[in-house]
Amino acid sequence: MRAGAQLFGQHLPTGSWVHRLGIGTKYALVLLPSLASLVVRQWWLALALVALGAGLLLASRIPARWSLRLPWYFVVMAVLVSLYGFIAVSWQAGTTTLANIIGALLVSRVLTMTTPAADLVDALVGVARPLDRFVPQASERFGLAVALMLRSIPHLVDSFGQVRQAARARGLQRRVAGLLTPVVIMAVAHAQRSGEALTARGLGDPDDRIER
Amino acid sequence: MIRLEGAGVTVAGFSQGRPVDHTILHPITLDLDTPRTAVIGANGSGKSTLLRLLNGLTLPSQGRVLVDDLDTARDGAAVRRRVGFVFTEPLAQLVMSTPADDVELSLRRRHRDRSQRRALARHLLTEQGLADLADSSVHDLSGGERQLVALTSVLAVEPSVIVADEPTTLLDLRNRNRVQTALLALPQQLVVATHDLEFAAACDRAIVVDEGRVVADDLPGRAIDSYRRLMGAT
Amino acid sequence: MMDVALVAVFAALIAAFSLVPGINLVVVPITLQTLAVGLTAMVIGPWRAFAATSLYLLVGFAGLPVFANGAAGIGVLARGSAGYLLSFPLYALLVGLLAQAVVRRGWRQRWLRLFLAGLVGSFTLVHPMGIAGMMVNVNLPLAKAFTLDMTFWVGDLIKTAIAAGVAVAVHKAFPALLATRRVPGPVTA
C-alpha cells in the first residue's frame, strides 16, 4: 500500500454521533482513560478501557470487521508480552497488561477512524497556540512543520524505493549503508529546497495582516 | 520595477586548505521593467543566482537590489510579498498534501475566514484548469500539474512580479507547453530563467548570463543569436 | 525556515523508515526506525534532532499512523516498546551534541567517533529507558527486562555503525550542516 494512502486512509466517515463529536471531546475520551489506565494499572480499569474503545467503535457504525480487527502480529505481540505477567506474577497483572495494550489501541482508533487527518493536524497546531506569546510565530511554524512532515513521508518512501531499484540494477543491493546514503542526501537536499520555498513564499514572515 | 545597483555575489570557499572567495555574480547594474524578461545561460553561469537576488533569497555581497524602492536586504518580508518565486522542482515548494490546502495556506495572510479561503482557493485552481485535482494528493499529480499548483499558490499571495527559475526544465513537452502558456498569460511582470529558447523568444527581452556576467541584454531574437554564438552552436 | 524544513523532513524520514517493512522481534518491532533516529542525531545537530524526534512522537501521539507497523495514538505508550520511543528526543540531543563536536573539531577517524557517540547515547539513554518501559508496562523484573533488552544489542551495534557511515558521507556532501558559523554563502534563509 502507498504510504500516502496508508497515512490518510484511516478515516472512515459514516456520519455517526461519534464522528460528529468535537475534536476536543474525542481527545479527552482517548487521552484521559488511556493515561489513567496506564498509570493506575488495575485489571478492572484496563478491561473498562477495552469496553470503552470497543463501545465507541461499535457506536461509530464503522463495520466491526475493520474497526475491531487486530492485526496478527499485534495479537502475537500482546499475548507474548502479557504471558510473563500471567505466569510469573498473577492473573490480574497479566490481564492488566493485555487489556491495556488492546484497549489503548482501540481507543486510539476512535480518534483516527472517525476524524479526518487534516482535523488532527489542526488540533495539534491549536494546542501549540499559547506558545505564540513566548516565541513569535511558534504555532505557525509548528503547523508548517507538521504539514511539511506529512507531505514528505510518501516522497521519502518513494525515494527509498527508487534507490533500492537503482542499487539492484547495479547489483549492489547487499550494502545497507550504500542504500541509505543517497536517501539521506536526497532528504537533506529536499529539506533545503523546501526551506527556500517556504522562505520565498513569505511563510513564517511576521504577520502583516494589520498593515493592510 | 526591480533595479540592481552594482549587485554582486561572492561566496567563501576553500582551495587547497586556504580560504578563497568565489565570485558567482560580478556586479550588475540594470533595471527590470519589461513585462516579460527571459534570462538564458549555461548551467552554472549564475542565472539562478541573478534570479534569487530579485526576491531576497540571495542577498548581494556588494551593491543592492531594489524592488519598488524596497531594499531586499532590509525589507525582506515586504519584497517577498511583491515578488513571487517559482522553483524548478515543484514538489519541493508544495507544503500541504493537496492542491486546495496548499493554495489555502498562501491565502491565510489575507483572508481570515476559513470558508472564504476555501472557496477562493478552489476558484484560483479552477482558473488554472485544476478544479478536478483540488483534493487529490500532490504526490499523485504529474510534474506539470504540480508546477501549475505551485504557480497558483504563488499567485494567491497577489505578487506584482513572478520570478521563475527554469520552471519547465523537468517537464515533458506537453506539460512544458502548458506551464509556459500559463506563465506567458499572466498579467504580472515575469522574469524567467530557461534553457528553452522558444520560451525565451516568446518574451519581450532576453538577458544572457555567462560566467557571472551579463553578456547580452537585448530583444530576444538578437540575444538568443549571441547566446548561440557563445555556446559555439552557430 | 531552513531549520523548520530540516526538522520536518527528518521527522518524515523517521516516519518513512518506521513504515518501511522491518523485522518483528516479539516485544519491540525492529525497524529502520532507530537507525533513522541515529541518523537524524548525527546529521542535523542536537537541537534540530531533538525537535525532529519530538515532532515525530507528537504527530504519532496525536493519532497519525507514523509508528512502526502503522501504529498510532497514545496507545503505543501501553506497549513494551514505550520506553524506547520516549528515549528518542533525549538520545537525539545527546548524540547530536557529541556528533556536532566531532564534526566541528574536524577530528580524524570521524566514523569511529560518530559510532562511539551513537553507542554512548544508546547505552546511557535508549536501553535504560527501554528496560524501564518494559518493567512498568509488562511487569518484567529488572533481570528479565535486561535480558530481553540484550537481544537488541547486536542489532543496535550494526545500526549505529551504519548510521555513522551514512552520516560521514552526508557531511561530506553538505559540509555546512553542522558548521560552526553559517558559511556566508548565497543562501541566507
Q: Does B93 touch chain A (CB under 8 A)?
A: yes
Q: Which chain C residues have a beta carbon less than 8 Å from that of B52? A: 186
pLDDT at C15 > cutoff 70: yes
Nearest chain A CA: its distance from C63 CA (Å): 6
| Per-residue pLDDT reduced to its tens digit, A154-180 | 888 888 878 877 877 776 655 667 778
Determine the Cα–Cα distance for residues C68 and C48; give it in Å rounded to an integer.
Answer: 22
C 112-141 → A contacts, CB under 8 A: 137-140
Q: Does C143 touch chain A (CB under 8 A)?
A: no
Determine the Cα–Cα distance for residues B70 and B67; give it in Å rounded to an integer.
Answer: 5
| Per-residue pLDDT reduced to its tens digit, A86-104 | 888 889 888 988 888 888 8
Q: Which chain B residues have a beta carbon less than 8 Å from that of C182? A: none
Q: How confident is the model at residue B233 (pLDDT cuts 50, 70, 90)?
A: low
Q: Which chain C residues have a beta carbon less than 8 Å from that of A91? A: none
Query: Which residues, listed in sequence order, are joined to residue C115 by a DSSP beta bridge?
Result: none
Nearest chain B CA: its distance from C172 CA (Å): 14
| Per-residue pLDDT reduced to its tens digit, B83-140 | 999 999 888 888 888 898 889 888 877 777 778 888 999 999 999 889 999 888 888 8
Which residues contact residue A80 at a Cβ distance below 8 angstroms, ignoring those fewer than 6 apart? C26, C27
Determine the Cα–Cα distance for residues B65 and B62; give it in Å rounded to an integer.
Answer: 10
Which residues contact residue B131 at a Cβ distance below 8 angstroms, ignoring those fewer than 6 apart? B122, B125
Q: CB–CB of C188 and B58 under 8 A?
A: yes
Determine the Cα–Cα distance for residues A165 and A169; give it in Å rounded to an integer.
Answer: 6
Determine the Cα–Cα distance for residues A121 and B74; give it in Å rounded to an integer.
Answer: 34
pLDDT at A207 > cutoff 60: no
Q: CB–CB of A144 and B95 under 8 A?
A: yes
Q: How confident is the model at residue C189 (pLDDT cuts 50, 70, 90)?
A: very low
Task: Walk me through the domains of chain C, giving residue ranges and CATH numbers.
Answer: 2-173 (1.10.1760.20)
Q: Which chain A residues have a beta carbon less than 8 Å from that of B87? A: 193, 196-197, 200
Query: Which residues, listed in sequence order, are joined to residue B18 by a DSSP beta bridge?
Result: B15
Query: Which residue bears the cell 507544503?
Result: B95
Instruction: For residue A104, give the nearest of C78, C138, C170 by CB distance.
Output: C78
Q: Which chain C residues have a beta carbon less than 8 Å from that of A34? A: 74-75, 77-78
* Buried/exposed C69-89: b ≥16 CB within 10 Å, e otherwise: bbbbbbbbbbbbbbbbbbbbb
Instruction: For residue C184, give the nearest of B11, B24, B49 by CB distance.
Output: B11
pLDDT at A3 > cutoff 50: no
A 9-48 → C contacts, CB under 8 A: 10, 30-31, 34-35, 37-38
Q: Which chain C residues have a beta carbon less than 8 Å from that of B11? A: 183-186
Query: SS3 for C22?
Result: coil
pLDDT score of B49:
93
| CATH fourth-level superfamily of B34-60+74-230 | P-loop containing nucleotide triphosphate hydrolases (3.40.50.300)
Chain B residue closest in CA terms to C175: B13
ipTM for the complex shown: 0.86
Looking at per-residue pLDDT, the higher value among B17 and B195 belongs to: B195
Beta strand extents in A26-102 (DSSP E only): none
Q: How confident is the model at residue B16 (pLDDT cuts 50, 70, 90)?
A: low
pTM: 0.83
Pick among A69, A96, A181 to test the C interface (most C CBs inside 10 A)? A181
